[in-house]
Structure 1
Amino acid sequence: MARSGFITDRWKVIDDPPIPRVLLASTATLSPWSVLASEASSSTMLDLTGHWAGFAALAVFFVAYGLVIAEETLHLRKSKPVMVAAGIIWVLVAVVYAQHGDTHTAEIAVRHNLLEFAELFLFLLAAMTYINAMDERGVFDLLRVKLVTQGYSLRTIFWITGALAFVISPVADNLTTALLLATVVIAVGGQNRKFVGVACINIVIAANAGGAFSPFGDITTLMVWQKGLVQFGQFFQLFLPAVVNWMVPAFIMSLAVGKESPDPVHEQAVLHHGGGVIVCLFLFTIVMAVCAHNFLHLPPVMGMMTGLGLLKFYGYYLKRRDHFFPAPPEQNLGDTALALEGESSKQKARDGASQYNIFKSLERAEWDTLMFFYGVILCVGGLGTMGYLAMGSELMYGQLGPTTANILIGFLSAVVDNIPVMFAVLAMRPDMDVGQWLLVTLTAGVGGSLLSVGSAAGVAVMGQARGVYTFFSHLKWSWAILLGYAASVWTHFLINASSFS
């Protein structure tokens, strides 16, 4: 990226282009924000990569991410350090710009990043609420009990849970899928720590690989799709590379799993009324999100939030259905909406099930993960405003070339987490063809499997199987995962050669 301008007291003014694309990429076509974008374009963006504020911002970000990586040891929620870091970074941005008489650019930039987060937040909130509603209705309990009580060997369950993770994650996202199936292998494995550890690694790899070929499977693919860089149908070109990425390490790890049967489990699962309908509503909601984006050119979040509204209506029906939940004898018309739909957990249905409450499903969303995304997006956005993304784009995509850079993105995502890495790439917005955008989508998604801290799925499962699935137990198999990573990249170049210009 060529730069021109003048230098004053260690300050560089970038006037080619006058404003990075990270600031205008999605605001140019949104009328409420177009005025802000035009105002920003009339001001100059300061390059703070060599200024003390820039160095301080980098230090804050790296310290925060060090705390995220050490979450397992410190038992400190990963959202806390990045949220604080985001606030500090933007204070530095605002102070420096204010010192140069510019009180508008920082505000415009942070509003853009908040808009990015808002779309992602609402999309994930709707998806998580649906998953929690299905869990509350017993959909996943039924699946777990069916697997445990069918008499399969441990090796067969290893393959079944891996296959389910690969198939479910394109729809339910890799984080939720990994958590649910980790519960299954923990229940099956019991005291067999070796099986639980290897099976959890397999689930994380399969969930990340399955999420790589679907716009709904991972946060990274969702962000690429929302940007319009890859169309909905084009993601499925990554199906075979994703299969290879999972199958290679899975085959190697399966040799370490015995063929003995798991301990018997005597348990019954009940699919409560409405479970099947909620599954169908979830699928319909996904269809609405796809149609909103492809045909109406609206953000996919519009379809997801509309579907969430339908779920809330159906939740009201479940609550008022006399056969399932009798209506309370008294109703205070002055209660709030939350009180009207939320009842005491002590009230029981005639069949013994606790009362359905849509707000409980909302409460059970992964709020730590959602707030983590807030911190990451704001941190990366702040560093981008300081000029670090432009510098990184010039270094990686200008000097190394897109192919080498996109392959290295996978290794970087294993250390830093694929979400901020992909957000940084999207903020850089390098000029690449569809084949290269698919490549970076693949590598950012599956590269996170190289280490347990490289993906949200891995971090979540470490908490689920604490002390059994750990950073070092995962590291033991990183060589096999690396073989799958290399094989998947080669497969993408082989079968999707026509996507490269």
Structure 2
Amino acid sequence: MLRSLFIFVAAAFLSMPALASVSAEPVNHLNATSTLAGYLAVFIFAIAYLIVVLEEKLQLRKSKPVLVGAGLIWLLVGIVSTDHAATSAAFSKNFLDFSELMLFLLVAMTYISAMEERRVFEGLRAWMVQKGFGYKTLFWLTGILAFFISPVADNLTTALLMCAVVLKVAEGQKRFIAMCCINIVVAANAGGAFSPFGDITTLMVWQAGKVQFLEFFDLFLPAVVNFALPAIIMTFFIPKGKPDSITEKVELKRGARRIMALFLLTIVTAVCGHQFLGLPPVFGMMVGLGYLQFFGYFLRMSLPSSLAKKRTVAEEKHDQRQLSYLGSVIPFDVFKNVARAEWDTLLFFYGVVMCVGGLGYLGYLQLVSVVLFDGLGASWAAFGIGLISAVVDNIPVMFAVLEMNPEISHGHWLLVTLAAGVGGSLLSVGSAAGVALMGAARGHYTFMSHLRWTPVILLGYIASMLVHLWLGHALGVFDVYN
């Protein structure tokens, strides 16, 4: 009993398993959970993850401990294993799966960086700032925009954008800013749950083939409930009136709208390639990177003539400000946007993937799968996964589930995806969006300010799960109810 409890706690809360483009076939693993090497592997990862949690206090990048931990864990795997060919194949599989995810994310990050550099998000923020919305309108508008932008731009970028708007407009209104940030985190996480592009967890589920692209939209209504129910309750506590309007004008840089169109074309290419040709989504994203590179070449080559025309117009109008701006324009460089990607985050994913890939190969995830899905049942297991993701973070939790590859119905895969996507909203540290906003709105949005509204957010979480179960029953997408 004690051994089972140790395995469940250690693997469910500490092990963050490897990425899985998991096939339907069972994954071979070593039965080494009771060996010294097995215990050492869990201990090593627990220490590595503890260092990650203390990242801000230690001033140590989060990728460093997990990279070292991954190396040590696979060293132990190699020592325990008697079949080196099988061990090499297991490592290669995890590495290949991570490579697909990394390249997909790298292209998406490059496009987001390019749109930031072309001032797309700054332009949207300026538009909202100068409209002079009231407090309640601003609360709902930032939440709704976060909900609908995050399925395309990702929940982290969306949350930071909406937070910047609130900080600019409601300066000095500490309580209102905190409530808006909570609403934005919940909305961004909920919006990201019904799109493969909205969150890394949904992307992993899509790449693993557990849910097809259009099937993610079955989560739309539960996601709306998850966002809307807490927002409605919080509305009663929003102050009346409106902040002072601010005049701010932002001019988009040349090519901004066309880069947005190319990003949408890239998404279409990835989806169509996967849906109709059976190619992995990363295929379409890499083709999309080619789109951006060719367009960057066009922007560079046509820059002199474009500047000459604009300079002539500015000279005729004696617009010294415009002339000064034109003199500071630098050519668009796609590789600068590639360099601005979150490389520490990408390397952190590698460490997590390989660490828990090693733990999975040692046999821990198989035991956790038995405890969760066979012991509790698929529905309760999904509910628990959402709660765990609020503490551990939803990305490693989804890694774990995909590596376990439990035999559950299609509807339950959707339920797990929903739970992992929105469960992180329960705590400010439960999602990347929440952690980022604690930094962006430092002094206004804190762990405790979010915790005060956790019971309300929990109501939305439970309601969204029940709505999905009800829809699943009505549409008959669940094979088994647990």
Q: Tell me the TM-score range normalised by the shorter chain.
A: 0.7 to 0.9
What secondary structure sits across from 2:277 in the alignment?
Answer: coil
1:49 matched to 2:30? The reply is no
Please tell me whether the aligned partners of residues 19 and 94 of structure 2 are also in contact (alpha carbons under 8 angstroms). no
Asked if the contact 1:65–1:416 (Cα under 8 Å) also holds between the matched residues in 2, the reply is no
Q: What's the counterpart of residue 406 of structure 2?
A: 430
Q: Does 1:393 align with 2:369?
A: yes
1:469 Cα shift?
2.1
Alignment match of 1:170 (pick from 121, 140, 151): 151
Residue among 433, 446, 453 paired with 1:470: 446
2:396 is matched with 420
Return the letter of the residue paired with 1:272: K
CA deviations over 1:3-45 (Å, ceiling 9, x no partner): xxxxxxxxxxxxxxxxxx99994598xxxxxxxx9xx97xxx4
Q: Which of 116, 125, 145 is matched with 2:97 structurally?
A: 116
Indicate which of 480, 487, 493 corresponds to 2:456: 480
Q: Are 1:259 and 2:235 counterparts? A: no
Identity over aligned pairs, percent: 56
Q: Quick one: which amino acid aligns to residue 156 of structure 2? A: L
Q: Does the 8 Å CA contact 1:214/1:235 hold for their aligned counterparts?
A: yes
Determine the structure 1 residue equivalent to 2:318: none
TM-score (norm 1): 0.84
- What is the CA–CA distance in structure 2 between the aligned matches of 1:393 and 1:443, rounded to whole Å? 17
1:206 aligns with 2:184: no
Choose which of 137, 146, 152 in structure 1 pairs with 2:127: 146
Q: CA deviation at 1:122?
A: 0.6
Aligned AA (1:299): P
The reply on whether 1:92 has 2:76 as its aligned counterpart is yes
User: Which amino acid in the other structure matches residue 323 of structure 1?
Assistant: S
Residue 67 of structure 1: how far off its partner (Å):
2.9
Q: How does 1:330-341 map to 2 (within 5 A)?
A: none
More helix by share: 2
* Aligned partner of residue 129 in structure 1, secondary structure: helix
Conserved? CA contact 1:319–1:325, under 8 Å: no
Residue in 1 that maps onto 2:249? 268
Report the aligned-residue RMSD: 2.3
Q: Larger relative contact order (C-alpha < 8 A, sep ≥ 6)?
A: 2
Please state if 1:317 is matched with 2:317: no
Report the residue type matching 1:56 in the other structure. Answer: L
Distance (Å, rounded) in 1 between the aligned partners of 2:48 and 2:231: 33
Q: Which amino acid aligns with 1:292?
A: G
**Residue 75 (structure 1) shift:** 4.1
C-alpha deviation, 1:195, in angstroms: 2.1
Contact kept, 8 Å, 2:21 with 2:97, in 1: the verdict is: no
Q: Does the CA contact (< 8 Å) of 2:222 and 2:465 recur in 1?
A: yes
Give CA-to-partner distance per residue, 1:196-234, whole Å, 9 cap, x none.
222111111111100111111111111111111111111
Q: How does 1:221-300 map to 2 (within 5 A)?
A: 221-300=202-281
**1:106 alignment partner, one of 87, 91, 107:** 87
- In the TM superposition, residue 325 of structure 1 has moved relative to its aligned partner by 5.4
CA distance in 2, matches of 1:309, 1:491: 41
Q: Which amino acid aligns with 2:412?
A: Q
Structure 2: stretches of 5+ with no match in the other structure? 1-17, 309-323
Residue aligning to 2:477: 499
Q: Is the 8 A contact 2:19 2:353 kept in 1?
A: no
User: Does residue 1:377 correspond to 2:353, yes or no?
Assistant: yes
Distance 1:26 1:115 in 2: 13
User: In the alignment, is residue 58 of structure 1 matched against residue 39 of structure 2?
Assistant: no
8 Å contact kept, 2:19–2:98: no
C-alpha change, 1:460 and 1:433, in structure 2 (3 Å) is: same
Contact 2:20/2:204 (<8 A) preserved: no
Instruction: Name which of structure 1's ranges 291-300 and 184-193 shifts more when overlaid on structure 2.
Output: 184-193
Secondary structure of 2:265's counterpart equals helix
Change (3 A) 1:484 1:134: same
2:52 corresponds in structure 1 to: 68
SS of the counterpart of 1:499?
Answer: coil
Cα 1:95–1:188 shift into 2, 3 Å: farther
Q: CA deviation at 1:164?
A: 0.7
2:8 equivalent in structure 1: none
- Whether the 8 Å CA contact 1:318–1:324 is kept in 2: the answer is no
Closer/same/farther in 2, CA of residues 22 and 462 from structure 1, 3 Å limit: closer
Query: Counterpart amino acid of 1:80?
Result: K
Residue identity in the other structure for 2:191 = G
| Cα drift, residue 69 of structure 1 | 3.0
2:106 alignment partner in structure 1: 125
Report the Cα distance in structure 1 between the residues aligned to 2:36 and 2:307, rounded to whole angstroms: 62
* Structure 1 residues 176 and 400, CA gap change in structure 2 (3 angstroms): same
Separation (CA, whole Å) in 1 of partners of 2:169 and 2:113: 22
Q: Is the 8 A contact 2:21 2:207 kept in 1?
A: no
Are 2:335 and 1:359 equivalent residues in the alignment? yes
8 Å CA contact retained: 2:211, 2:410:
yes
Matched letter for residue 207 of structure 1: A
* Contact 2:95–2:354 (Cα < 8 Å) also in 1: yes
**Cα distance in 2, alignment partners of residues 130 and 24 from structure 1:** 24
Question: What amino acid does structure 2 have at the position aligned with 1:186?
Answer: L
1:364 to 1:459, Cα distance in 2 relative to 1, 3 A: same
Aligned to 1:335: none
Separation of aligned partners in 1, 2:386 and 2:35? 30
Residue aligned with 2:247, SS: coil
Alignment match, 1:11: none
Change (3 A) 1:442 1:352: same
Q: Is the 8 A contact 1:319 1:355 kept in 2?
A: yes
- CA positional deviation for 1:263: 4.0
The runs of at least 4 consecutive aligned structure 1 residues that moved more than 6 Å come to 21-24
Q: Cα deviations across residues 368-409 of structure 1 (Å, max 9, x unaligned)? A: 222221122112211101101100111111111111111111
Alpha-carbon distance between aligned partners in 1 of 2:99 and 2:153, rounded to the nearest angstrom: 20
> Which moved further from structure 2: 430-439 or 457-466?
457-466
**Aligned partners of 2:207 and 2:281 also within 8 Å:** yes
